[in-house]
Amino acid sequence: MNNYNQIRVRFAPSPTGYLHVGGLRTALYNYLFARKNNGVFVLRIEDTDRARYVEGAVENLIDTLHWCGFDYDEGPQKNGSFGPYTQSERLEIYKSYTQTLIEQKKAYYCFCTQERISELRTAQENLKQQTKYDKLCLHLDHNVIAQKLKDGVPHVVRLNIEADKKVVVEDIIRGRVEFDSNLIDDQVLLKGDGYPTYHLANVIDDHLMKISHVIRGEEWLPSTPKHVLLYDAFGWEKPVFAHLPLLLNPDKSKLSKRQGDVAVEDYRAKGYLPESLVNFVALLGWNPGTEQEIFSLDELINIFSIEGVNKSGAVFNIEKLNAFNFEHLRKKNDTEVVRILKEYLAKSKFADHKFDDDKLFLIVEAMRPRISFVKEIIENSSYFFESPESYDQEVIQKRWKDDTSENLKSLAEEFSKLLNPKKEDYETALHKTAELLNIGNGKLIHGVRLALSGVGGGPGLYEILFILGKEESIRRIEKAIEKIRI
């Protein structure tokens, strides 16, 4: 265990376009660990790979974290004692520390061209050898180095890794992991463009920002010995490492866009609630030790522990995510659902329509048991917001008989006599009409449902009538009588 007197963790994404669900899980576990231990959650933007930088990605990332409910304590757009929190604004810091390593002979300038590096790699591969730099530039004379630097010869700076060392990584999740330094390349620390590599910037920033625990994906485990060697080269205390298991497709391959959505933004656009996505992602590789599966963010904070994270990969099961969304939607009160529904309506073809709040509450109440997503209210029951322009042909063939039009005329006439009708009044009127016509209730119910909604299913008919109101219901019945021909 390290000697840091406060838990400080960081989520350090690269702004390359979108937040992967694996990145969301990393952010979540760091956030939960910090909140559980009264620690600090830092957001750091690792934008040193300028070729992959995407304009607007940082703003999108911050917005996505806020949508998920993660409020970081230090980072871009926030005050903090260890900023700046964007690596491209810290270049002089990296250069200064690299110069210290060069002076101590723990790092060296490398002037080899990319062509020579490629030829070296090819030759090593042909001989079935480990592909790594051969330290040619380590042995350059001081005067030669000075002249090349003066002449502006392109170069990088490499870490001088000692041979025959055992590099040990102590990991909370994986235990003790050992690496052979003979198999580790003299990694580049500073690139030709003056920007640091991920490895250098990561270690320097974690040290200067007093990060106590590095919680990140398993894909970074092979890089960790490089980081350990850098900590040793600087003489710095190492943080505690925890490498999270891979996220897998159902076929056990690594989760990738080829087999489905991997971006948090994709799930947000599809209508998943942030609570359900966070809950689902929390259980991808972590076990609470109980039978409970549905958790709020506060409940996750209370029960989370790094020790509960598994080593083996976690399968991303979309059916389970859908089930979680249904459960979290059930937990929301009508006011919350109406608020979300209004957001979807504002982005839909109904954006210019004005809907009465009382009506929206009734629609939500009617549709709740039939949806897993709020947006399905619009998709599955657009008839609440506009009169149907077409009618399900299968239902017409099955339910619209020779006498349906005349029967519905009688029903509309009965409805017209109602004053401020409630649901029960519509039901009474329908039963009365059926009795007068000497037919079963069903012969009216199926026809009027089709006239009102254009489809054969949905909430209770009397709910639909009450929500639409007397005038609109009669208008739709008359329209259907006119339009439907068999």
Q: Active-site residues: which are they?
A: 257
- On whether the CB atoms of residues 362 and 467 are closer than 8 A, the answer is yes
Q: Which residue has the tokens 């259980």?
A: 283
Q: In terms of DSSP H, where are the helices of 45-126?
A: 57-68, 91-103, 114-126
Q: Look up residue 246 and give its two tokens.
A: 């891979």
Q: Which alpha helices (DSSP H) does 106-244 contain, by range?
A: 114-126, 142-150, 198-208, 224-234
Q: How far apart are CA 163 and CA 229, in angstroms?
A: 12
Structure tokens at 320: 């389970």
Contact 370, 459 (CB under 8 A): yes
95-100, long-range: CB < 8 A, 24+ apart: 95/190, 95/194, 97/200, 97/204, 97/234, 98/157, 98/189, 98/190, 98/196, 98/200, 100/234
Residue whose token pair is 């190492």: 238
Residue 406 contacts by C-beta under 8 Å, 6 or more apart in sequence?
Answer: none
- Exposure string (b/e) for 287-317, b if CB count within 10 Å is 16 or more? ebeeeeebbebeebbebbebeebeeebbebe
